[in-house]
């Protein structure tokens, strides 16, 4: 059985997947692991990723590789997104990740990120739908056009972005909630302009924010891979969860059912962005995808090996 490993180096989390092809043309995930390490914390375009963030990522990577040691295949790749893409020392950090993991690192463009995400989530998507990848450092939207081409747009705003001057680690006031939601809307406004007047049949969204919110809504105390793939999350529920989270201190958020470890400090920003995504495209609900760029890249590599 031909197995491949893909490690997604995101701005908020690392995600490791090992998979193989499943007949007739699907993907079987054999092993998965993730850790939140906030590589992009405080990062602005053109600035360097600080040493403490690099250490967090390398330590988390080392832990994940250690847990998967007896399962790791020879073939694999690390895929770097927004933080490695915009940081002045992105290539240097990628080299450290390559040396630690033993796998090459691909730093991909927003268009490439969107393409891989669509391929990974293809089982949930039809031609009239739109996919949004709400990541840690950026948000991409992708939709097919009548001409058979793709419309892709990316904004540098994600769950790990510093949109407001106050801390997301504490309970926030009503005024602060409005400021956060307004700023999230402004950050995503280029998407509204790029897709002006377009209302998809379904909006499929992937990323740690949406999987966490879906697990919370479904009452799943301990999240596990695949438990909310295809789950429908309503706009009203997103709003209720936003205020529930905003009423909590970070430590209280962290023990809520469905909360991924260490996501308590970034979940509020991600939820504000998600609510605004719904409003931009006039959606009463979204469909949650758990299959993103790692799944798309796994399928590519495995299918290439069959040619």
Render pLDDT for 201-249 as a digit per residue (tens, 0 to 9): 999 999 999 999 999 999 998 888 889 999 999 999 999 999 999 999 8
- For residues 137 and 276, membership in a common domain is answered with yes
- For residues 105 and 145, membership in a common domain is answered with no
What proportion of the chain, given as a percentage, has pLDDT over 70? 98
CATH assignment of the domain containing 161: 3.30.420.150
- For residues 225 and 268, membership in a common domain is answered with yes
- For residues 152 and 86, membership in a common domain is answered with no
- For residues 141 and 283, membership in a common domain is answered with yes
Distance CA 76, CA 50 (A): 27
Asked whether residue 94 is domain-assigned, the answer is yes
- For residues 159 and 56, membership in a common domain is answered with no
- From residue 67, give the alpha-carbon distance in Å to each of 14, 32, 53, 64, 252: 14, 10, 21, 5, 28
- For residues 272 and 203, membership in a common domain is answered with yes
CATH assignment of the domain containing 25: 3.30.420.40
Asked whether residue 40 is domain-assigned, the answer is yes
Give the CA radius of gyration of the chain.
Answer: 18
The pLDDT tens digits of the residues spanning 50-102 come to: 999 999 999 999 999 999 999 999 999 999 999 999 999 999 999 999 999 99
Which of 84, 109, 134 terminates a domain? The answer is: 109
Asked whether residue 115 is domain-assigned, the answer is no
Asked whether residue 299 is domain-assigned, the answer is no
The pLDDT tens digits of the residues spanning 139-179 come to: 999 998 877 788 999 999 999 888 888 877 889 999 999 99
Please calculate the CA angle 65-135-89 and round it to the nearest 5 degrees.
Answer: 65
Asked whether residue 114 is domain-assigned, the answer is no
- Report the domain count for the chain: 2
* Mean predicted lDDT score pLDDT of the chain: 92
Quick one: 230 exposed, middle or buried, by C-beta within 10 A (0-12, 13-18, 19+)? middle
pTM: 0.92
Asked whether residue 298 is domain-assigned, the answer is no
Asked whether residue 303 is domain-assigned, the answer is no
* Matching residue, tokens 């990541």: 135
What pLDDT shows up at residue 237? 98
Distance CA 295, CA 26 (A): 10
- For residues 132 and 277, membership in a common domain is answered with yes
Domain that holds residue 219: 122-289
């Amino acid at each position: 059985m031909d197995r491949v490993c893909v490690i997604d180096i995101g701005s908020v989390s690392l995600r490791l997947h090992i998979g193989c092809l499943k007949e007739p043309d699907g993907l079987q995930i054999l092993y998965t692991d993730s850790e939140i390490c906030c590589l992009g914390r405080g990062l602005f375009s053109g600035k360097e990723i600080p040493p403490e963030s690099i250490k967090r990522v390398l330590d988390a990577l080392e832990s994940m590789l250690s847990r998967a040691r007896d399962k790791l295949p020879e073939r694999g790749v690390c895929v770097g997104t927004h933080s490695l893409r915009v940081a002045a020392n992105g290539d240097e950090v990628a080299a450290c990740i390559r040396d630690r993991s033993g796998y090459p690192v691909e730093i991909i463009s927003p268009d490439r990120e969107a393409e891989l995400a669509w391929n990974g989530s293809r089982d949930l998507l039809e031609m009239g739908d739109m996919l949004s990848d709400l990541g840690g450092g950026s948000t991409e939207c992708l939709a097919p056009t009548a001409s058979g081409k793709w419309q892709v747009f990316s904004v540098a705003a994600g769950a790990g972005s510093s949109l407001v001057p106050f801390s997301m680690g504490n309970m926030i006031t009503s005024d602060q909630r409005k400021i956060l939601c307004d700023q999230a809307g402004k950050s995503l406004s280029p998407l509204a302009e790029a897709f002006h007047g377009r209302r998809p049949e379904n909006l499929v969204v992937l990323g740690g924010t949406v999987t966490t919110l879906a697990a919370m809504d479904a009452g799943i105390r301990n999240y596990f891979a695949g438990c909310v793939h295809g789950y429908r999350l309503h706009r009203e529920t997103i709003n209720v969860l936003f205020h529930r989270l905003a009423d909590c201190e970070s430590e209280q958020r962290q023990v809520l059912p469905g909360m991924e470890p260490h996501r308590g400090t970034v979940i509020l920003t991600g939820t504000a962005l998600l609510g605004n995504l719904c409003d931009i495209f006039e959606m009463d609900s979204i469909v949650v995808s758990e299959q993103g760029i790692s799944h798309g890249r796994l399928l590519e590599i495995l299918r290439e090996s069959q040619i």
